[in-house]
Structure 1
């Protein structure tokens, strides 16, 4: 896999947002930058007692990597502790942060850019910041701008006048999709907020109808590699990924939140060549008063049972305890 490339802002006099450190700028993410403590996990204890009750893990869209990876993790943690961890299908990062902060979920996944907004009370969280705890960095999300193979779209500006799915409301995908469209200065794009599986189906249906009738012309998705519902399109109408390198570099240079310039290798989806894109680190988060036992056993299991977790999704190979 191509190595992510960090671009740091030039000395243009911009003021760095409060709470953001060089550590987060290097891709370690918003939650770590905020200096959030990891209960129990820092002790490295091998005698941590099993949790006293069940826990819930907020994941993401059905079929997305958050959902698949989270399902595998919950199964392993339940097996190791003897106490059940169940998963919740959600809209993604924003939804997960809100659930965790409201104690409607014990743990969840989020992207670093959305976590930074939630911590500082900006963007979708301008009504007030949220309280949550960062437990670990997991893997990176990659932005996919997906069009059918037969589409005339070859660059972002070609999306003008078309219908594009930007992810469900309260999702990390929508956060980064809106940022990409605004940075590309696209003003005449009709957007929809479908789930991943519904978006893939509508893209397929319109492509089957040769672009006529209802449906969408493209979809934007932020997720791990590969994302199965997207990969399945190669067996039907086929798809291409749009190069967003210019916008990715502009975002990396001008925005904080852990954004990384990277690319999606051709082998992931059977593409002709690698496609430049934007990557965003992911974090496992928890409600602030999560018990030491649940925090310790979840993180410990995620890293110690990494090989077993890889059977659920290959993104587990990206885990690095360093």
Structure 2
């Protein structure tokens, strides 16, 4: 062979090189797809009938349909149960990844080992996105004389059902406000939403805490009941200065919010805190998997909202609101949000 190539040899060489490049690129892409596809994503939700169950089921369906992953939703006892499943049942070696819909306060306590079931082994989680908010309600009536958190002292108050997200949030807010239920309440009740509403209507308690969406049916019904008895529903404010103190004490856990007067027919809008529910996965979930999950959901938000109306607050603008907080975000989710310009580089 001579020291120089003719045109046919050059063309043949280029064809071989381009073929190798294409094969290498295709092989890499297929390998990445295969790496993601071999994982089974189990989405832990909540009880049937609750928003968590329907939201998690819809996300699992989007994962299966668009992420080249197997997605399955399971019914659970909600946040703490979900976080235990992520911690104890994720098996990356066998391709099993647990993700979940969880309350931010439960996630915070589990991640920081402040919850008793995570005291020796914290929840190994990272956030993919913020879902939708629960608003803290501190419900009372005009005739109780309760206008501020400090006015709860000496009164009969319910802080929510034992172990509930409402109770967790209530106790954290009271801690920041310097109110100790065991010491300061005349009677400390731990009732669920409907039981608390009934107790307030009957006069056996003076106020109660509830964390939920707007409007919450039981609070609406209570307002109607009170009105028939010539009483008027009031929501106790969480003032801006206390909200700032809360943010310092528990960074990234809640955001200031307002409940408009029109929501429950109160005499004025009420400042409070919004606790945004989180979608989380095990922190060691491969980046390509959390990227694929996030992409599948956020490129098909219309389908999610049609299935679960509260998902209207699952938006690109809200998704990264916990960035910089105590619990880190998944790198895969951040990669997607950077690609679409929702998060700066």
Q: Same fold (TM over 0.5)?
A: yes
Match of 1:70 among 43, 56, 77: 56
Q: Which has the higher contact order (CA 8 A, sep 6+)?
A: 1
Task: Tell me by how many angstroms 1:285 deviates.
Answer: 0.9
Is this contact kept in 2: 1:48–1:296, CA < 8 A?
no
Aligned to 1:15: none
Matched, 1:179 2:179: no
Distance in 1 between residues matched to 2:225 and 2:300, nearest whole Å: 35
Secondary structure of 2:89's counterpart equals: coil
Match of 1:243 among 237, 241, 258: 237
Matched, 1:166 2:160: yes
- 1:281 to 1:314, Cα distance in 2 relative to 1, 3 A: closer
Match of 1:188 among 176, 184, 191: 184
Aligned to 2:277: 282
Aligned to 2:333: none
1:66-121 deviations in Å (ceiling 9; x for gaps) = 445334434554565795522424243x4432231122782113344543443343
Distance in 2 between residues matched to 1:96 and 1:146, nearest whole Å: 29
- 1:254 to 1:59, Cα distance in 2 relative to 1, 3 A: same
Aligned to 1:23: none
Structure 1 unaligned residues grouped into runs of 5+: 1-43
Match of 1:310 among 296, 305, 308: 305
- 1:106 to 1:123, Cα distance in 2 relative to 1, 3 A: closer
Q: CA RMSD in A?
A: 3.8
Secondary structure of 1:106's counterpart equals: strand
1:25-56 deviations in Å (ceiling 9; x for gaps) = xxxxxxxxxxxxxxxxxxx99x9578568654
| Number of equivalenced pairs | 268
Q: How does 1:137-156 map to 2 (within 5 A)?
A: 137-147=130-140, 151-156=144-149
- 1:234 to 1:277, Cα distance in 2 relative to 1, 3 A: same
* TM-score calculated relative to the size of structure 1: 0.65
- 1:231 to 1:66, Cα distance in 2 relative to 1, 3 A: farther
Secondary structure of 1:310's counterpart equals: helix
Is this contact kept in 1: 2:48–2:75, CA < 8 A?
no
1:133-166 deviations in Å (ceiling 9; x for gaps) = 3222333433221235765433223333313133
Which structure has the highest helix share of the two?
2
Matched, 1:206 2:199: yes
Q: Bigger CA drift: 71-80 or 255-264?
A: 71-80
Is this contact kept in 1: 2:160–2:209, CA < 8 A?
yes
Aligned to 2:210: 221
Q: How does 1:65-104 map to 2 (within 5 A)?
A: 65-77=51-63, 85-92=72-79, 94-103=80-89
Matched, 1:57 2:43: yes
Task: Tell me by how many angstroms 1:177 deviates.
Answer: 1.2
Q: Bigger CA drift: 297-306 or 120-129?
A: 120-129
Is this contact kept in 2: 1:58–1:90, CA < 8 A?
no
Secondary structure of 1:90's counterpart equals: coil
Distance in 2 between residues matched to 1:315 and 1:232, nearest whole Å: 24
1:245-301 deviations in Å (ceiling 9; x for gaps) = 153233224443443333223344444432111233432111345577864554233
Distance in 1 between residues matched to 2:124 and 2:290, nearest whole Å: 16
